[in-house]
Amino acid sequence: MTHPVHHLRTRFLAAGAAALTLAALTGCSSGGSAADSGTYTIWDPYPQYQADSEWAKLLDGCGSAAGVKMKRTAYDTTDLTNKALLAAQQGNAPDVLIVDNPVVSTLAEAGVLTTTADTSTDTSMIQPNLLAAGQAGGKTYGIPLGANTLALFYNKDVLKAADVDASTIKDWASLTAALQKVKAAGKKGITFSAIGTEEGSFQFLPWFWGAKAQLTKLDSEQSVSALALWSDWLKKGYAPKSVLNNTQTTSWQEFATGDYAFSENGTWQLENVKKAGFPYGIIPIPAKDGGTAPAPTGGEFVTIPVQDDTGRYGTSKKIADCLTSGDHSFTAVSTLSYIAPTTQIQQKQVEAKPELKVWVDAVHAAKGRTSDNLGTKYPRISQQMWTAVQGALSGSATPQEAMAKAQTSVK
């Protein structure tokens, strides 16, 4: 073990003080104490799944397979991060921690997590682009439980009325031409989320990366072209002004009215689109000059926090491996509406549900928000990016002015 807890305390104060302050306001809870060696604790960000859910049963099954009982605690994502930082400072971390992938770098910098090298965890079967979201400083912290990402849902009836063939949409030019025809036919174009939060950045990134822009150069020509695309869509009435305040949920509600041709949204809407009452299809988000744009990966990592009793790692690893491999992995991603992180389970998913093929392709092209060794720099960059998007789409700045200001603010 390379991160003994007595060294962790000092590193934590430097990396997680702000989050600790939030956590202190909400109290703390018992973590992975070795007092009961036959019970292992696991924290996850799925409070919507109760004790009788398939997810809870899966966790219990993995505990049984490892020869221990599982004690599960579920928090919402923000609260979970704060609780994990505070518990680590107190030497009271859970044995297994499941966290949103952008949070991994924050916890790793604070010294909260073991590396896959520490626990001898095999990551060779995991897609490299998905694993990258949990990497920092040349080390890997945990394994992705599954991934979700973004694509374009479309309403077949609206496209038919506008004489648009979805299969011809291969790049930005063909998509914009389709939106022009949709508007000319008296229909509505595309809805998405450009709200001034991480959701807005999440939805902008496929266009940003699809222009071959880099998060370290927000004021580049490529970056400006992505923002100009969205800005032009609003000016021409291809997208509604409501996108400025839309979350991914309210954006979806607009699409569900049946009035829009396209919606940028994720795998989590698959069941909802089946209930929408109109025929639909799904295509990848196109890159500027063709091909599939890299969309950001959503989803969680299964991590093993640092413990005083390093003898617990072996069993924690068995639990983590159970959740991320074989039939248990298939059950996990099916329950959570994710795409698996391995080709083997992805193939099994597509065999069971052929409509998942487009999502598997999208995940293959996807990219972690903290990849490129951005780590804890990403949140600061993201905030300036969504601020620039808001400025340009509201008309208070040109795309070039907005991105130039964003880059200056990041520095």
Q: What is the CATH number of the domain that holds 251?
A: 3.40.190.10
Residue 258 in 3-state DSSP? coil
Does 204 share its domain with 323? no
In whole angstroms, how far apart are CA 212 and each of 175, 201, 226, 288?
Answer: 18, 16, 9, 8
Does 215 share its domain with 140? no
The pairing of strands 260-266 and 150-155 is: antiparallel
Does 73 share its domain with 97? yes
Q: Alpha helix locations (H) across 137-171?
A: 156-161
- Number of folded domains that form the chain: 2
CA 262 to chain centre: 21
Residue 249 DSSP code: H
Check residue 53 and give its pLDDT: 94
Token pair for 400:
């070039």
Does 126 share its domain with 194? no
Contact 319, 40 (CB under 8 A): yes
Q: How far apart are CA 219 and CA 188, in angstroms?
A: 31
- pTM of the entire structure? 0.84
Does 245 share its domain with 203? yes
Does 248 share its domain with 264? yes
Q: How far apart are CA 93 and CA 307, in angstroms?
A: 7
Does 77 share its domain with 176? no
Does 53 share its domain with 140? yes
In whole angstroms, how far apart are CA 215 and each of 135, 298, 380?
Answer: 17, 17, 11
Contact 300, 145 (CB under 8 A): yes
Does 125 share its domain with 85? yes
Q: How far apart are CA 26 and CA 268, in angstroms?
A: 29
352-379 per-position pLDDT tens digit: 999 899 999 999 999 999 998 898 899 9
Range of the domain at 24: 5-147+298-365
Check residue 36 and give its pLDDT: 52
202-234 per-position pLDDT tens digit: 999 999 999 999 999 999 999 999 999 999 999
Token pair for 327:
């039939």
Q: Identify the segments of the chain with pLDDT beneath 70.
A: 1-37
Does 30 share its domain with 98? yes
Check residue 78 and give its pLDDT: 79
Does 24 share its domain with 156? no
Does 123 share its domain with 156? no
